[in-house]
Amino acid sequence: MKNSAKVKALINELEALQQNLHGKDFLLTWENSVDNLKAVMLVAEILQLLHLEKKPWRIFDYGLAISIFRDNSTRTRFSFASAVNGLGLALSELDEVKSQIAHGETVRETANMISFLTEVIGIRDDMYPGEGHTYMVEVADAVTEGFQNGVLAQRPSLVNLQCDLDHPTQSLSDLLKLKDYFGGWENLKGKKIAMSWAYSPSYGKPLSVPQGVINLMTRFGMDVVLAHPEGYDLLPETLETASGFARASGGSFSLTHSMEEAFHNADIVYPKSWAPMAVMQERTRLLRGGDKQGLKDLEQHCLAENARHIDWECDEARMQLTKNGNALYEHCLPADISEVSCKRGEVAKSVFERYRLHTYQEAGYKPFVIASMIFNSKVPNAAAKLKSFF
């Protein structure tokens, strides 16, 4: 195998970790130890190397993977499909409109009915504060009950494909790109990353990406700066955990209302739009009440508020403020690209084009991160199983 030496080194590193992912769901990065996070990323890197050499890494002979997408998706949807296919599972998507959920079937009932031969359930539920993660926990409890009482022959593992709190498959893909770009996790200590709000001609984008980024990068000793206009706050508890992680790792976490200050001497920039926490909470209230006019009024108010900060764009002038004017640009995609996907957006066309292939590589880790989460959950000794593949 061309990359056998690299794979062997990664497996050796995996064997040295004190991780406990077997039999576990993956819902939030901050519920996991640094060794657990490293294990997910190491297995993802190994699976990617095996894929590059067209070597299979199937661990199932049969079974289903169920995806539940309560929001639109391109990268995560196809990454989940690719991951479960590579592991040997067939994919079925739960369409809630076509299911008995529309007739009042409960979450606990649905979770068991879709799980008879199911090995993994991937869920995206990211739009409503206080609901997405709660829903995932309810599904997890339901399949645990079904398994413990003999209804299910196996307990499906749950993977968070994005919730209201976190987007772990994305942030771990972001971190793997940084590991590759800077040559290892040890080289990330002291690197400054600007997680910045950026203007978008739309509203209602979830908080989970910035919350996930600040709570993951602080685990690895990075200097994380969160930037946004006043009023575009994240959930307070995610700021508290990020601060705690920074103290524990020897990094730092700070907040500014200046995009320029965040970009100054930054090694990495991550300009991404999101809706204010208060807006997302009000949106949830209006949706629950079926207040269509209220939703229209809220959208117009938020678009007008966004327009007050139209200058929050990752442009060439701001990139010149970064370290040597050459910070790495990251984004979860799709980016709002000025003069391409919109008249004015998160990032200037010239900046995005310069880093476009980097963002594709960043996204390219996601199928393997998802596959790794499932692999580690289902295989008692991941390192031993990986050795059997080459």
Both tokens of residue 367?
């199928």
Q: Please, are residues 17 and 35 in contact by the beta-carbon 8 Å criterion?
A: yes
pLDDT in tens, the chain (390 residues): 688 889 999 999 999 999 999 999 999 999 999 999 999 999 999 999 999 999 999 999 999 999 999 888 999 999 999 999 999 999 999 987 666 665 667 999 999 999 999 999 999 999 888 889 999 999 999 999 999 999 999 999 999 999 999 999 999 999 999 999 999 999 999 999 999 999 999 887 899 999 999 999 999 999 999 999 999 999 999 999 999 999 999 999 999 999 999 999 999 999 999 998 888 888 888 877 888 898 888 889 888 989 999 999 999 999 999 999 999 999 999 999 999 999 999 999 999 999 999 999 999 999 999 999 999 999 999 999 999 987
CA dist., res. 390 & res. 383, Å (int): 12
Sequence letter at residue 170 = Q
- Fold agreement (4-166+366-387, 169-364): yes
> How much is the CA Rg of the chain, to the nearest whole Å?
21
Per-domain boundaries in the chain: 4-166+366-387, 169-364
Select 4-166+366-387's CATH number: 3.40.50.620, 1.25.40.10, 3.40.50.1370, 3.40.50.970.
3.40.50.1370
**Burial, 360: exposed, middle or buried (Cβ in 10 Å; 0-12, 13-18, 19+)?**
exposed
Residue 99: predicted pLDDT: 67
Please tell me whether the peptide bond between 236 and the residue prior to it is cis, using omega within 30 degrees of 0: no
CA dist., res. 343 & res. 333, Å (int): 17
The predicted-structure confidence for 198-234, as pLDDT tens digits, reads as follows 999 988 789 999 999 999 999 999 999 999 999 999 9
Which CATH fold would you assign to the domain 169-364? Rossmann fold (3.40.50)
> Are β-strands 118-125 and 64-69 bridged in parallel, bridged antiparallel, or unpaired?
parallel
